[in-house]
Structure 1
C-alpha cells in the first residue's frame, strides 16, 4: 500500500509542487484546503480522518504576504496561519494513528534585518515588527499542544525560487531593462505604519541588503532529509547555504537572461510601484541573511547551493515549458 502524505494549503506554488512530486513518486497524497480537497478547513473531524494513518503532514496554509499590510490583510494573514495550525493540532490529537512527522511552514523573515552576520537557528536574533510577530505567533501555535507521537518542525523558509515563484516578476522586469538593484533610502514615516510595525526602516545602502533564497527542489530535499533524520525537530532554516546581496542577485539574473543592463530602482519608485501592485517594499528591502546550519551539520547536500545554477535551471525550465505550450 502506498504511503499517505497530507498537504494542507496545497493551492500555492510550493504546495502544488510538493503534491505533484510526491504523487510522481507513488505516494497517495491527500489535500486539506478551502475547496476541492479531501478535507476542508472548519471540518475538524474530516481532517482527523485524512490525517489518521498518514506518514507525513506538511502545512503550507496561509494568506500570501505579497499584499498591502492594511488592517484587513494583516488580520487575515494572522488568522489564516494561526487558525489552520490550531485546527491541525486538534485533529492530530484525535487521531488513533497520528502522523509521526508534522512539518509546518514558517519564514526566515522571523530574524532581524541582518547585514552584519548570518542568522542560524542557534545564533539568530528574532526581529521586531508585524511580519516577525506573525512568524513568532505561528511557531508558538505549532508547538503549543502536547502531541507526543508527532515530531514537529517549523521550517523557516527563505524566498523560494522556481518556475512560478516570486522570481517570475523579476524576470519580466529584467527583460524590460529594469533589472538593476532595488535601492533602499529614506521614506516618509507614516504614524499608522510605524504603530502597526509595517514601516521599513532605512538601513542597507547601495543594494547591499542580503538575499537569502532556496530552490524549490531543495525545499522538497530538506523535507525528505528531515524525514530520514529523527533527531531533527523544532526550528530549521530552509535556505541555500550561499546567500547573496540584492545587487549580486540582480546582476546574476541579468547574466543568466542575457540582458546587458538594468536600471536600478530607488526606494521612492519602489514605494509608488508597490502601492500600485498592492505589495510592500519590505519584501525586497529587508536584509535577510540566513544560513541552514542544522541541516548542513546533519549532512544535507544541496542540489542547488549556488544562485547562478539555480537561476539557469529555472530559466531553462521556463523556456522549455513555453516552447511546448
Structure 2
C-alpha cells in the first residue's frame, strides 16, 4: 500500500464517496468521519462524530497521511436566514474543531486539505482568475468562503501542512451537477442558461481525487490551490458539448427571468448557474500535474460512457 491512513471528515456525501473509492486500493485504511454509522466495507471504516465536539474519533487522526475535510451543508438551496446560518456553521465549526485537535497532537496528519470553493473569486468574463492574481468577489457565497478559509488558516497546526483546495464544479455521473444538466438535454431544454457567456470552471471527479494524491506527494505545495480543469468553457459551449455527445440537436434556452422563477420553485439560487467562474489551476499546472481530463468534451464523453 502506498499510504497508511486516509481520513475523510464529512466523507459520507458524493465527493467523499468518490475519494473513498479512489483511495481504497492505495491505502491500508480509509476512515470516514460521519454523523451516521455505517458497516465497515473492506478497508473503509466509518467512525461517528458530530463535527462540533471532541470524542473518540480523535484517535483516528493519529499518523494519517492526509485529512481531507469535506464538511459543509449543500449550497443548492434558497439563501434564507436559517439556511445562511447553517451553511456557514457547517463549514466553520468543524474546521475550527479539527484545527484545535490537530494543533494539540504529537503525531497529527501530515497534510490537512480543506475543500473550499472556487466561487470565492469574482464574477469574471474579462480574464481568468488564478491563485496569484485572482480577485475575491462579493456576496453571500463569497463571504462564506472567506470565513471558512480564515478559520482554516488561523488554526495553529505547526506539524501539519495545510491546503485550502478551491474546488470547481465537480462533474460526475451519479450525484453532481452533470446529471441535472444531462436531464435538461434529454428533455430538449439543454440550451444556454441566461446569456450563456458565463464561464464554468469544472473538474472531472477522477481529477478531483487524483490531485489530492498529487498534493500528498508534493510537500512543497501548500496554502491556496485551485482545483479546476485548465480549460474552463462558457455555458453556451458546455451545453452544446453535452447535446452533441448525447445526440440531441436542439436545446431550448432558459433566459435569466425564467431561471429565477425555476430557482424559486425548486428551492435554489440562480447564482449557482449565472455566476461566471473563470478559474485557472495555476499552482497545479506549475507543479507539473497532468490532468486526466483537461477538456470538457473529453470529460463529458467519459461520463456518458459510464453505465449506472
The correspondence for 2:185, drawn from 164, 168, 174, is 174
Contact map agreement 2:225 2:283 (CA 8 A) in 1 = yes
Contact map agreement 2:5 2:27 (CA 8 A) in 1 = no
1:267-310 deviation per Cα after TM superposition (whole angstroms, max 9, x unaligned): 11101111111111000100000000001011001000000010
The correspondence for 1:49, drawn from 53, 59, 72, is 59
Which deviates more, 79-88 or 94-103?
94-103
Q: Shift in Å at residue 39 of structure 1?
A: 3.4
Gaps of 5+ in 1: 184-205
Q: Shift in Å at residue 45 of structure 1?
A: 3.1
Contact map agreement 1:7 1:15 (CA 8 A) in 2 = yes
Q: Tell me how large the CA RMSD over aligned residues is.
A: 1.2
Corresponding residue number in structure 1 for 2:223: 234
The correspondence for 1:142, drawn from 137, 142, 152, is 152
Aligned length: 297
Which deviates more, 123-132 or 91-100?
91-100
Distance 2:119 2:28 in 1: 32
1:184-218 deviation per Cα after TM superposition (whole angstroms, max 9, x unaligned): xxxxxxxxxxxxxxxxxxxxxx3101111000111
1:68 aligns with 2:57: no
Gaps of 5+ in 2: 38-45
Three-state SS of the structure 2 residue aligned to 1:170 is helix
Contact map agreement 1:178 1:264 (CA 8 A) in 2 = yes
The correspondence for 1:156, drawn from 166, 173, 187, is 166
TM-score normalized with structure 2 length = 0.94
Distance 1:298 1:215 in 2: 19
Corresponding residue number in structure 1 for 2:49: 40
Contact map agreement 2:6 2:27 (CA 8 A) in 1 = no
Give 1:207-246 correspondences, 5 Å limit.
207-246=196-235
Q: Shift in Å at residue 220 of structure 1?
A: 1.1
Q: Shift in Å at residue 43 of structure 1?
A: 4.0
1:92-138 deviation per Cα after TM superposition (whole angstroms, max 9, x unaligned): 12322100100001100000000000000000000011000000110
Distance 1:266 1:106 in 2: 29
TM-score normalized with structure 1 length = 0.89
Corresponding residue number in structure 1 for 2:255: 266
Corresponding residue number in structure 2 for 1:126: 136
Distance 1:123 1:47 in 2: 39
List, as ranges, runs of 4+ consecutive aligned residues in structure 1 with deviation greater than 4 Å: none
Distance 2:26 2:112 in 1: 20
